[in-house]
Amino acid sequence: MDVMTLHQRTVAEWTARLAEVRDDQWDAVTPCTEWTVRDLVNHVAGEDRWMVPLLRGRTIDDVGDSLDGDLLGTEPAAAARTAAGDAVAEVVARVPDGGKVHLSYGDEAVEEYVMQVAADHLIHGWDLAAATGGDTRLDATLVAEVSRWFVDREELYRAGGAIGPRQSAADDPGVALLAAFGRDAGWTPDHATLARFSAAFGRGDVDEVMRLMTEDCVFESTSPAPDGVRVEGAAAVRATFEELFGSTRDATFAAEESFVAGDRAVLRWRFSWSEADGLPGQVRGVDVLRLRNGLVAEKLSYVKG
């Protein structure tokens, strides 16, 4: 498949998923853990907006900061569709002539640049569908084309911080491509909730922890043995966590492993602190969580030994 056709088809996949985003989903979490749906769409729209000047021979310095910040305005889907359409038209006009474009890492062949953007549309289209409950199936032909291109570039992308660690993958080509791009094909919004919840605990951010818990949340502590203490309701749970972090010197939680299955999740962690004499303390444990509507409703904690 020639690169112009590939680009057009990946953009078509992207815009089809964009059309399915509901008005109440723009703040939803995405597989790109630092981005909401709006952030994700703004990123792709930014790539599309950049294509026009770069394909016309302008440099990054020429464009400056004119494409920084929010590019979506009050009609985000319409703005993103317009950016995508303009990019497709520019690709059709410029690719036949070949040549170079000026990118952040230096000059690059036009076809290679268009391929990079096409791959981003394919993968971010999946991100968008996963975040909004859309159709996450990937076109087999597009997967094959992008996979062949990406096999020699995966480690360069990872070394540059553009993608996360490779995930485990099944034999399915689409799942394998997502894994190469650092995606878990089984991702749901609850995975993002768990990641944010774990990170908030890790830095002792009780406000963020409580934003991620339901008003009727339940917490069961690890002590006293054997059953701990059961605390119910957001106010009481907050007070318990504030006491934990306020009375424990240098308290930190580090996630060791986690997974989500239906409305349940398991988070394996290591809790570290400093004793009064300055010596380190540590305990390892696990949380069994119940999730509801993107929030943690129940946190049952257990420790080793």
Q: Give this prediction's pTM.
A: 0.77
Give DSSP secondary structure letters for 211-233.
HTEEEEEEEE-S-STTT--EEES
pLDDT at 195: 87
Q: How far from each other are the two terminal CA atoms of the chain, in whole angstroms?
A: 59
Question: With bands split at pLDDT 50, 70 and 90, how would you rate the model's confidence at 294?
Answer: confident
pLDDT at 265: 96
Q: Which amino acid is at 70?
A: D
DSSP β-bridge partners for residue 296 = 213, 291
Question: With bands split at pLDDT 50, 70 and 90, how would you rate the model's confidence at 227?
Answer: confident
Q: Does domain 3-180 have CATH number 1.20.120.450?
A: yes
- Give the model confidence (pLDDT) of 186-223 as tens digits: 888 888 889 889 999 999 999 999 999 999 999 999 98
3 state SS of 115:
helix
- Give the model confidence (pLDDT) of 88-131 as tens digits: 999 999 999 989 999 988 999 999 999 999 999 999 999 999 99
Q: How far apart are CA 286 and CA 227, in angstroms?
A: 14
- Give the model confidence (pLDDT) of 36-68 as tens digits: 999 999 999 999 999 999 999 999 999 999 999
CATH topology of domain 189-303: Nuclear Transport Factor 2; Chain: A, (3.10.450)
pLDDT at 77: 97
Q: Are strands 264-274 and 106-109 parallel, antiparallel or unpaired?
A: unpaired
pLDDT at 28: 87
**Where along the chain do its domains lie?**
3-180, 189-303
pLDDT at 192: 85
The answer to whether the 3-180 and 189-303 domains have the same CATH topology is no
- Give the model confidence (pLDDT) of 138-180 as tens digits: 999 999 999 999 999 999 899 888 888 888 777 899 999 999 9
Q: Are strands 295-303 and 213-220 parallel, antiparallel or unpaired?
A: parallel
